[in-house]
Structure 1
Amino acid sequence: MMDFSAILPALPGLWDGMLLTLQLMVMGVLGGVILGTALAMLRLSHNKWLANAAATYVNYFRSIPLLLVITWFYFAVPFILRWITGEDTPIGAFSSCLVAFIMFEAAYFCEIVRAGIQAIAKGQMGAAQALGMNYPQSMRLIILPQAFRKMTPLLLQQSIILFQDTSLVYTVGLMDFLNASRSRGDIIGQSHEFLIFAGLVYFTVSFAASLLVKHLQRRLAV
């Protein structure tokens, strides 16, 4: 017989884990969108070297598992920094995971942003240039605002995926929500109850966010 009574007293500790999960997700999304937008601009560049370099980045990170990226940054980056600087430069588990999320998600956000930009009618750019705007001004003031409006549901959907993927930080010892739930359950001998509770929380948050995405899709379609 399962007993979920121990979950309520453990909520403060679990909430700390959820805050870390949300912090990683929000910062990873913001950094990923910024880097992904820059990569999208490079992919759309008429300079073949820049376009090919961005395409190589995107194809590489979309071809390897996120778990590998997390462990690589956690173990390899301090080694590389020590080789460059000659000193130990620990970046910590949180920072390594954040950098891994940003660089990994940027590859996916890049494709979303690129598709959003290409969905804007070419006449918009011509109209902006007719008003005397240069290319950066046209993109910043005319094209990107319209593109981001169209791709908001896709950006949110990818953010939901990142929210779920943050559970992979257990590999480097970060106490995110899932790891905090698992550890608490192991300590008091109720691992099944705490893992079931964690699963319900992830499902509730992801399902609610998915409903929001569908609502936005209907509104933007109108």
Structure 2
Amino acid sequence: MSYQIVILAAGMGSRLGRALPKPLTELGDGRSIMQQQRDNIRAAFGSDARITTVVGYRAETIVEAFPDGNYVYNERYDQTNTSKSLLRALQATGKKGVLWMNGDVVFDPRVLGRALALIDEDRSFVTVNTAKVSDEEVKYTLSTDGHIDQLSKTVVGGIGEAVGINYISRDDKRALVRQLARVDDQDYFERGLELAIAEDGVRVLPLDISDLYAVEVDFAEDLERANEFV
């Protein structure tokens, strides 16, 4: 079985204040953020993983670092958000289900091992952390049957945070593509997923990884926290 993996790495990452794209930021163990992601992907899926990276800001530096990759270019990286980067990636990956992640997430290799069963069952999911609920992060609520209901930074009464590693099944992919095409340029991909849930009946499970580390590196203090784990 082959697996389609997408890394969203088109953004400028200006909040971290570095010249290179954020995924090329060096971690304490000498690897870049993207290298640890690729290592984790290969550890979980082996040679069956087909990795597609969405690039934009200083795209050539990422391509030079990983010349063996497959790339999709978001030429409007400075005018759009992750919704449009994910849209381009999903359109380029055929009909199969896709696992995708933000290009700035440093995470425990066991996250993907835990996700493997749901991927093999082709069930859409969002990885979540219920240990904390920060105002600035993407939060979620659940429906009465235990599936994701609301999913955004503005959720009131969120029961946890979305980690930034997600999967859309083959059956649900078309609805998500349609909603990502519809949302505003500055929307995060979570808005498209939220609309697919509300309007298309897409059912998305929460995959709890609260006991494992996953750090989205936006600021210098996030990088310091990530380096405590790697």
TM-score by length of 1: 0.23
Q: Which structure carries more helix by proportion?
A: 1
Q: Which structure carries more strand by proportion?
A: 2
